[in-house]
Structure 1
Amino acid sequence: MGDAERSSPADALLEAVCQSNPKVVVSLQALVSEIDVLREKHKILLTNGVFDLLHAGHAELLQQARLISDFVVVTIPSDSDVRKQKGAGRPIQSHQDRAALISCFEFVDRVLVYKAGCLEQIIHLIRPNILLKGSDYRGKQIVGGDYVASLGGEVVFAERSGPSTSGLISKCIRTIDQED
């Protein structure tokens, strides 16, 4: 979320989290400036996802990100964006919590929360060498993929194992229903 976009109590909470956690970024401009300095000698990777209920597949994806790059940026959508994309009842965790959890992975360098419709702009500003998505996105249109390729970069699909977050939620609901 850019500096001018911070206005809600949730955004103020995210800013407070960021002050104690330098991996979680509030200012897109500051992130872009940092990456511009690193770009000459480092391979920059960007991946995005909801990361609502962390599971082994998420950890594998983020670990693979580090193996193929030098600097890993994870972008996660705001809560309102997740609700639009996934429906009522999602996200399970707030974007503040999701950002804080993702930042705990040693192979993640920065985490940025974005608002609806901003992902492509973020990709254009960051200009990653690699755009990483899970293998479940193979064959789908990837936001920013054509742009990254036009810069000489690549879209990489990381193999993932295990259930998706939606699969985990369904399994939890089935388990609860069986107990009732």
Structure 2
Amino acid sequence: MNTSDKIYTLPQLQARLQEWRNQGQKVVFTNGCFDLLHLGHVDYLEKARQNGDKLVVGLNTDASISRIKGPSRPLQDEMSRARVMASLLFVDAVVLFDSDTPLQLIEALQPDVLVKGDDYTVEQIVGHEVVLARGGQVKTVPLVKGYSTSNIVKKIENQLKEE
């Protein structure tokens, strides 16, 4: 299997989810920018996957990241980020979304479990109402402290200033 085989359009993913559900698989969903993959991301995604049988990652498009984080982001283009996400053993599907929040994507996918980091409460997680309304679960997983793409960027910038 190529990593690109795990990158789906929304209609393709909806069909795949139906296949998984027909097999009795529990689908977990999470989302993010995942601009520079680091230990915090790997740990988070691994923990998210432990809440079900299949992990779907909603990945912000370049345009949505620029709107949210500013014109200097993302550092890597969306297809690069999608391929890196798809290369992880515990990620079963990657789908891009262009909205500022994943609400429409969550409504379209109807995951069994919605996961975010413990820097959110369940009530703050976008889409929690959608998942809970159909009997699904919304969970938070502990984050590895001190790891973020923003911190890595700052560290690089500081080292460049010192040179």
**TM exceeds 0.5?**
yes
Structure 1 segments, 4+ long, off by >4 Å, are none
Q: What's the offset of the Cα at 1:100?
A: 0.4
Separation in 1, partners of 2:100, 2:62 = 13
Q: What SS does structure 1 have at the residue aligned with 2:111?
A: coil
Change beyond 3 A, Cα 1:132–1:20: closer
1:168 aligns with 2:149: no
Corresponding residue for residue 7 of structure 1: none
Match of 2:162 in 1: 178
The aligned residue for residue 38 of structure 2 is 55
Residue of structure 2 aligned with 1:89, choices 72, 77, 99: 72
Aligned-partner Cα distance in 1 for 2:151–2:122:
21
Give 5+ residue unaligned stretches, structure 1.
Answer: 1-18
Structure 1 CA distance, aligned partners of 2:59 and 2:149? 14
Question: Which position in structure 1 is the counterpart of 2:26?
Answer: 43
Note the C-alpha offset of 1:129: 1.1
Which sections of structure 2, spanning at least 5 residues, go unmatched?
none
Paired position in structure 1 for 2:15: 33
Separation (CA, whole Å) in 2 of partners of 1:175 and 1:139: 38
Q: What is the identity percentage for the equivalent residue pairs of Structure 1 and Structure 2?
A: 34
CA offset digits 1:91-123 (Å, max 9, x no partner): 000001000000000100000011125721211
Q: What residue is the counterpart of 1:3 in the other structure?
A: none
1:34 Cα deviation (Å)?
Answer: 1.5
The one-letter amino acid of 2:38's match is: H
Distance 2:3 2:48 in 1: 25
> Could you tell me which residue of structure 2 aligns to residue 98 of structure 1?
81
Q: Aligned in 2, Cα 1:94/1:45: closer, same or farther, shift over 3 Å?
A: same
Task: Answer yes or no: is the 8 Å Cα contact 2:35–2:81 preserved in 1.
Answer: yes
Residue 65 of structure 2 is aligned to residue 65 of structure 1: no
SS of 1:39 mapped into structure 2? helix
Cα deviation, 1:48-70, whole Å, max 9, x if unaligned, reads 00000110010001111222210
Q: What is the TM-score normalised by the length of structure 2?
A: 0.90
Range with bigger deviation, 72-81 or 127-136: 127-136
